[in-house]
Structures are given as C-alpha cells and as structure tokens.
Amino acid sequence: MRITGIETTRLTSQPNLIWVEIETDEGITGLGETFRGAQAVETYLHSMAAPLILGENPLDIERLHKVLFRGYLGFNGSGVESRAASAIDIALWDIFGKVTGQPVYQLLGGACHERMRAYNTCAGVDYNSKSIQRRLIEPGAEKIRGRYDDQIAFIEDPAQLALSLIDEGFGAMKIWPFDGAAMETGGQYVSARQMRQGLEVFEKIRLAVGDQIEVMCEFHSMWNVTSALAIARELKQFRPFWAEDPIKMDSPGLLADYRRLAQIPVCGSETLASQSTFRDLLAEHALDIVMLDLSWCGGISEGRKIASLADAYQKPIAPHDCTGPVVLWASLHLALASPNAIFQEVVRAFLNTFYKDLVTELPVLDKGFLLRPDAPGLGTALAPTVKSDAQACIRRSTLPI
C-alpha cells in the first residue's frame, strides 16, 4: 500500500479548521484535522509534508511520525509543522483502522473504559468562528443559538446553566469568569471588584446545585504568578476541580511554585507539543492533570506517549476539544484506550449545532458520557456538503505518475 495523494479542505465559515485526507492506492482514505492557522498549515502540508510522505506506506505510522514531527533540524514547537504532522498522523491511524476493520482504540491496545465521562466547556455556538454556520441562519436559528450560548450564561445566569447541564447528565463544567479582568489589566493586576465578579459565578453555582457538578476554572494563561495566586487563594473555597493554564505554561519551575502555593489541582495544557515538554512539567511536579490536544501535540502517536508518561507519574489525562469534530473522535479513541483518562472535553454548543454540518457521524453523548464506537478507524468522514460549499478551498497534492 502506498500514499498516493493528500487533499486539504477548509471553509471560510470555520477559518481556523483544516481537514486533511490521505489517499492510498488501495482506495482507502484517512481523515485528519487540525486547528488554527489553517492557511499556513495548508501551505506547509502541500509544500513540505507531501513530498515526504507521498509514495510511502501509510501503515508505517511511527516512522512517518518521526519524519514529520522532528521537523527542521530535529525540533518543532507547537506551530505549523507540529499541527500539520498531527493532522497527518490522525489520518494515518484512521487508515490503519479501516485496513484492519477495527476502531482506533482497539489498535491502541483495546478499551480500558466502557464509556468515557465528559465535561462541558461552556463556550457559545460561534466561539472560535468568525461567522455562524448555515443551520444558525435558518428559521428557528436564534432559538438554537440562545439555548447553547453557554459562554453568556455562565456570566449572566450561572445557576441556571449548571442546572441545565445536570439535567442533561453532565457531572462537570468548565468556565472562565476571570478572563475579562485579565484583558482589562493585561493579567498584571486583579482588583477587589474584579475578584468579586469572578468569584460570584462560582458562588451562585454552589448555592444552586451544591456539589452535584464539578466546576473547572480555565485561565487561558492570561495571568502573572502574583495575580494567579491571589485568585487561587479566594477561589479555593468553592472547590474548583482544577485550575487550567493559570499562568504561561513555558516555565515548569514557576508552574510548580503556583501549584504548591495555590493548593488547587493544576491542569495543562492544550497548547503544548511533544512528550518532552510534558516530561519537563511532570518531572518538576507542576501538573496534577495532563490535558493534551491531539491536533497540536503530535497526533495520536505522540498523544499515546504523553498519556503513558502521565500514567508513569500517576497523573490522569483529560484530552482537549474545543476545536473540531475529527479531533474529538481521535481524542475519544485515545481516552478509551488510556487507563488514566478521567474526562473527555466536549462543547455541547458545538455538538448540537455546526459539528453536525462538518462530519457524517459524531460520538454519541448519553447522560454525560461518550459511548464506545464500533466502526473501523475513527468512525466518521467529512460531510459531503463541506466540499460542495461554494466557499470551500480544496487543494491536492498527488504522487507523480
């Protein structure tokens, strides 16, 4: 079997997403995806990555992963090269599953979980998008959008939001009520007023539902250490499940100091690439929960190594998804095959709206848990309407005849 072509697709309505399809001479195609800088990734995929993998055996996943992930002179960060390599790697695992007739989690050693617990990230329908998908300009769109404007809800009515999630079976939710304050001060200072506004969100949730739901706090790496610790001292009383990316995630020593002084579990980070980066954070005792994004960290091949590394340090993992449906599928497979996976992130606003327009199948979410799929490979494909979209940008690289 040989790789004969690479086709990329992106939409102006989802400017951060790009899909990669790897074609073979046996008619089997694998689907991958990555997020952010889609045009730059597209250029790299066709100008640099395609010549490296066209004509190669798609089942030599680890070898091709090393070729792509080492990048220029043996090093990549979490930039364009790593994101392109991640998308290709996910597509190669999809091919492997289709060749063997097995879901990807089976190829990773089999399922460790009957189902995977999910938490809801409280983003809105058009979070990460410059425009709203077709289903949101159809009749009844405002009702759909309003129902899933969770990012507005966690500020304006956090108690009702928590109750609605519990009604759907969710046992955990993630919010970021301190981001506005960080934007006002550049993350250098948090005033008493700003502190009170952020804390009130957690207080209202606890008063309404008690401990019926776990609440994660996302900080988006927007604060300096002094301010992050000031918030942690006050936030601790509301028993947050974790503080995610509380400071910039480029200093293991500073993050370890924060973890020790904050006394709130630290989760990180979707923004990091390669097992070596996570190794440094774990060796410094800077993390309690390992979050990884398969579209940035190096794909499934690198992701399973990071998961195994976390397990060696007796730390759980919680794969990230606030990007695209293909990465959600890949992440679910990794989580199911990882004994130390405790959560898979989902965004119900995405699952119930535009994700349905992008792929043929989505993971089944049942009462706060994602069910095990049984289809070969990832279990999904690009929806036909994606490529027929008048604004779709499709580009191909093929093996020379």
Residue 167: CB atoms within 10 A of its CB come to 8
Residues of the chain with pLDDT > 90, as a percent, come to 89
Task: Report all structural domains of the chain as residue ranges with CATH numbers, in order of start.
Answer: 3-103+381-398 (3.30.390.10), 105-371 (3.20.20.120)
118-149 pLDDT per residue, tens = 999 999 886 665 443 333 334 344 444 456 68
Query: Higher-confidence residue: 322 or 254?
Result: 254
Instruction: Answer yes or no: are the C-beta atoms of 4 and 50 closer than 8 Å.
Output: no
92-126 pLDDT per residue, tens = 999 999 999 999 999 999 999 999 999 999 998 86
Name the average pLDDT for the chain: 93
CA distances from 252 to 6, 30, 204, 273 (A): 38, 36, 34, 14
* pLDDT value at residue 75: 53
* pLDDT value at residue 299: 96
Query: Higher-confidence residue: 144 or 238?
Result: 238
* pLDDT value at residue 144: 41
* pLDDT value at residue 140: 44
* pLDDT value at residue 148: 63
* pLDDT value at residue 23: 98
* pLDDT value at residue 141: 42
* Least confident stretch, 6-20, 116-130, 270-284: 116-130
Can you say whether the dihedral through the CA atoms of 276, 277, 280, 285 is positive or negative? Answer: negative
Instruction: Answer yes or no: are the C-beta atoms of 223 and 195 closer than 8 Å.
Output: no
In sequence order, which ranges of 148-191 are alpha helices (DSSP H)?
150-156, 158-167, 179-185
Q: Measure the CA–CA gap between 401 and 384, rounded to whole angstroms.
A: 28
Can you read off the two tokens belonging to residue 270? 């979707």
Q: Measure the CA–CA gap between 350 and 362, rounded to whole angstroms.
A: 11
Residue 56 has pLDDT above 80, yes or no: yes
* pLDDT value at residue 77: 60
- How many Cα neighbours within 13 Å face the side chain of 254? 14
Using pLDDT thresholds of 50, 70 and 90, give the confidence band for residue 69. confident
Residue 236 has pLDDT above 50, yes or no: yes
305-343 pLDDT per residue, tens = 999 999 999 999 999 998 999 999 999 999 999 999 999
Residues of the chain with pLDDT > 70, as a percent, come to 92
* pLDDT value at residue 73: 46
Residue 278 has pLDDT above 60, yes or no: yes
Q: Whole-model pTM above 0.85?
A: yes
Q: Measure the CA–CA gap between 110 and 279, rounded to whole angstroms.
A: 25
In sequence order, which ranges of 313-395 are alpha helices (DSSP H)?
325-336, 348-351, 355-358, 384-388
* pLDDT value at residue 133: 36
* pLDDT value at residue 22: 98
Can you read off the two tokens belonging to residue 77? 């960060």
Q: Measure the CA–CA gap between 176 and 291, rounded to whole angstroms.
A: 16
* pLDDT value at residue 124: 86
